[in-house]
Amino acid sequence: MSRAMLGVRPEVVEDVAVRALPRRPLAWPMRVVVVSAIALMAGGLAALADRVELLVLVVVVAAVIIAALIVFGHRAWQRGRSIDLMIEAVNSVVRASAPTRDLVTVSRWRGGWIGAPQRIVIRYPGDLVDSDLKFAETLVVQVSNRMGIAYRVKKNDARRCLITLTADPAAPEPVVDPDQSRLESVLSVIIPGVSVDEFVRDNADNLQRTILHWPPTSTSRVSKTIWQKQAVDAVRSSVVAPNAAQLTIDWDLTADRGTVRPLTPLPDVLPHPPRDDDNPMKIAFGHFRDGTPCVWDLDAPLPHLLIVGGTGGGKTVLLLSILTALPTGMRRDAFGRWVRDPDMPMAEIWPIDPKRLGLFNLGLLPGAKPAATREAAIVTYILKVKKLMDDRYEYLERNGPHLRSTLDPLVLAVDEGEEMADMLNEWWKSGGGKADWCQRMGLEKAPTGSIHPVMTAFGSILRLGREARVHVILASQQAAASWLSTSSRSQFAVRIALRNLEQSTSMMTFGSLVATAGLENKPGRAWVSPGMGIPPEHAQIFWTPKLAQGLGDEDRAIMHALGITLPDDPDFVPQDDVVQVPTEHGETEDVAETSGEEDAGRPHLYAVEDSTPIEEENVRSFELSVSELDVGMSILVDVDGEGVIATVESIDVDLEDQDYLILTYLTEDGEKGEVAVPDDEQVTILLPE
């Protein structure tokens, strides 16, 4: 049990957070009282001496002095108030241990009755790295923004730890946006010493760009996810602009700066572009916000692709976008006509569609088989792809692995993977699947278990397909461990989530909660991670029409640009390599190539069910950083040496140690508790499947 779970904090020395300066006192009232007392005594003496003229003189002089004290004293107080915000900013930059006015000295006031100081002398601690250019730059920006006029460094006396700023008459006076001051004030609580500049708006009052700077001492704090989230929320709530809800921050920790900008809008519809003859193995299926294409590289080390999304989310459209862009062994000639080229790769596509109509007419694609929709046909396709993979391994073993590049891609595409697994398992439990399996394998008795053995072959394809150029596209509502093992799920390099996901689905897909919010609820929107370890980003998926007759001119042009002719095209030619799909009971002649004596004597295939880490039904556990927790999440807490399920009620920063967070939780028994945990510590969260 960790010290954090016991509530024991390590003894560390941390800087005390700089708070607001105390209210500046009025000095002139006391001086007026003193002058009045002196005048009263002088007047009394003059009266005793019967010197009336002297008494009048005392009264007149005292009145003039008191008036001057009130007027100039109040002006001095107003000047002091005008620089207090600047002093607070300086205290934060120089890491003052407590709020103080003693570090700043101002002089040479000019510009109106109150004006502004032309010379500012700042004393900083000796342990501060004053040679860092970012220190002086941050100090100048903070002072200039708070005072409303431009300053520059006149002298930096490193020996005495003094830096002198002087007003820069050549620089234009900065125009401070009202939201800029408010945003800087709010962000300074989250990021100590932060300054806000370059507050740029367009003609519609939308915020286009804002630059944040912070001292190097705050960089470690800014690197934490929890502070980045709070900063983005602060920007969206503090800025008054039509596009405030679309603002985000690009963090540059090496330069100690952040750029506030609006999210680049994505198009609502993005038609599938023509086929790329120069890069047939790089399949583009959409665009990120910055305009770069989303690419599935078939030559990548992990060659498989995972698609996750709810019903109606667009999984089938995305599948069609990818499948229609696979290499077809064709290219355009000089006249723009599609011709076969033996030097071009040609993908062999084996589609599985338990929905039956999602991948209808896929046989129109060169190299594509008709979709397998029934149990026997699905088993046939998986076993066939497994055998082709094994044959390719034997070929490479005999002739050398250098010939891998000569192999054409072989793609097993599964629409609704979870439905496929449930369908096969139900068929297995009913007895029909066992009879079919015994016939295929030449067995007298079917293997035991509740999972269809072909799922082991499916897992083998995922783990071993790379070297044989065998690829899997798996689309499902969620990649739960109940049907897809963790080792199999880890084989997918490219991962796509259509629309925002639930917490458990986001954890299983991307290993974090990043895909739970922030994406517009529009058709074709997706979270896309183009490779292992790459955080997912927003993207718009290409629109690809279904392979059907009666398409409009625009949709038909999309298909023609991909080299696909439709049945109602004048130049339509049926594919020569179309094969018959087995029926529900496998009663077609073409099934013989994967059944009968060819598979006799093959080893039995058994599926191993994943074990869940906790005993709760329909609940999965994950490890998550404390800084990513949200109120309402279920976590495991240590109570008297036992793990207890609790709900997070609040998350607050520990004022005594800002690297710690205070979690307040409520157990299932109704007992409240509080614990201090480092913000980077991993805790166990429980999410329903």
Q: What is the reported pLDDT for 300?
A: 78
Q: Does the annotation flag 315 for ligand binding?
A: yes
Report the C-alpha gap between 437 and 439 in whole angstroms: 5
Handedness of CA 49, 50, 53, 55 (dihedral sign): positive
Residues 299 and 395 in one domain: yes
Residues 151 and 247 in one domain: no
Residues 431 and 490 in one domain: yes
Domain count, the chain: 4
Do residues 544 and 558 make contact, with C-beta atoms less than 8 angstroms apart? yes
Model confidence over 460-490: pLDDT tens digits? 999 888 889 999 999 988 887 778 877 788 8
Model confidence over 387-410: pLDDT tens digits? 999 999 999 999 988 888 889 999
Boundaries of domain holding 40 = 27-167
Q: Does the annotation flag 459 for ligand binding?
A: no
Q: Which of 510, 513, 516 is nearest to 531 (CA)?
A: 510
With cut-offs at 50, 70 and 90, classify the pLDDT of residue 7.
Answer: very low
Q: Which of 425, 418, 616, 423 is nearest to 505 (CA)?
A: 418
Do residues 374 and 583 make contact, with C-beta atoms less than 8 angstroms apart? yes
Query: Residue 573 CB: number of other CB atoms within 10 A?
Result: 7
Model confidence over 492-509: pLDDT tens digits? 889 999 988 888 888 888
**327 or 682: which carries more pLDDT confidence?**
327
Do residues 200 and 602 make contact, with C-beta atoms less than 8 angstroms apart? no
**333 or 262: which carries more pLDDT confidence?**
262
Report the C-alpha gap between 411 and 465 in whole angstroms: 10
Q: What angle do CA 161, 173, 164 make, to 5 degrees?
A: 10
Residues 205 and 291 in one domain: no
Is 123 in a helix, a strand, or coil? strand
Q: Does the annotation flag 311 for ligand binding?
A: yes
Say whether pLDDT at 19 is over 70.
no
Which residue reads 């939780």 in tokens?
Answer: 665
Residues 246 and 128 in one domain: no
Which of 562, 581, 609 terminates a domain? The answer is 562
Range in 74-88, 300-314, 561-575 the model is least confident about: 561-575
Which residue reads 């929890």 in tokens?
Answer: 226
Say whether pLDDT at 59 is over 70.
yes
Q: 0.85 cut: is pTM over it? A: no
Q: Does the annotation flag 533 for ligand binding?
A: no
Residues 213 and 93 in one domain: no
Residues 536 and 680 in one domain: no
Residues 441 and 322 in one domain: yes
With cut-offs at 50, 70 and 90, classify the pLDDT of residue 612.
Answer: very low
Q: Which of 447, 441, 327 is nearest to 379 (CA)?
A: 441
The average pLDDT across 263-283 equals: 87
Say whether pLDDT at 70 is over 70.
yes
Q: Does the annotation flag 229 for ligand binding?
A: no
CATH number of the domain bearing residue 631: 2.30.30.30
Which of 544, 562, 580 terminates a domain? The answer is 562
Say whether pLDDT at 1 is over 60.
no
Residue 268 lies in a domain: no
Range in 17-31, 38-52, 79-93, 445-459 the model is least confident about: 17-31
Model confidence over 145-174: pLDDT tens digits? 778 788 888 888 888 888 888 888 776 655
Model confidence over 572-582: pLDDT tens digits? 766 554 333 34
Report the C-alpha gap between 31 and 73 in whole angstroms: 9
3-state secondary structure 515-529: HHCCCCCCCCEEEEE
Q: What is the reported pLDDT for 678?
A: 82
**665 or 8: which carries more pLDDT confidence?**
665
Residue 140 lies in a domain: yes
Say whether pLDDT at 358 is over 80.
no
Q: State phi, psi for 301 to the nearest 5 degrees.
A: -60, -40
Residue 444 lies in a domain: yes
Residues 200 and 154 in one domain: no
Residue 7 lies in a domain: no
Residue 250 lies in a domain: yes
Q: Does the annotation flag 73 for ligand binding?
A: no
Residue 536 lies in a domain: yes
Q: Does the annotation flag 43 for ligand binding?
A: no
Residues 373 and 225 in one domain: no
Report the C-alpha gap between 573 and 221 in whole angstroms: 64
The average pLDDT across 209-237 equals: 86
Say whether pLDDT at 528 is over 90.
yes
Q: Please give the full DSSP string across 174-225, using - where no structure is assigned.
A: P---HHHHHHHHHHHHHSTT-EEEEEEE-TTS-EEEEEEE--GGGHHHHTSH
What would you measure as the largest C-alpha separation in the chain, in angstroms?
A: 140
Residue 76 lies in a domain: yes
Handedness of CA 674, 677, 679, 681 (dihedral sign): negative
Which residue reads 């999972």 in tokens?
Answer: 451
Residues 126 and 101 in one domain: yes
Q: Does the annotation flag 310 for ligand binding?
A: yes
Q: What is the reported pLDDT for 486?
A: 76
- Average pLDDT over the chain, rounded to whole? 80
Q: Can you read off the two tokens belonging to residue 278?
A: 């120069």
Report the C-alpha gap between 504 and 506 in whole angstroms: 5
Residues 385 and 527 in one domain: yes
Buried b or exposed e, range 586-605, using 16+ CB within 10 angstroms: beeeebeebbeeeeeeeeeb
CATH number of the domain bearing residue 407: 3.40.50.300
Residue 587 lies in a domain: no
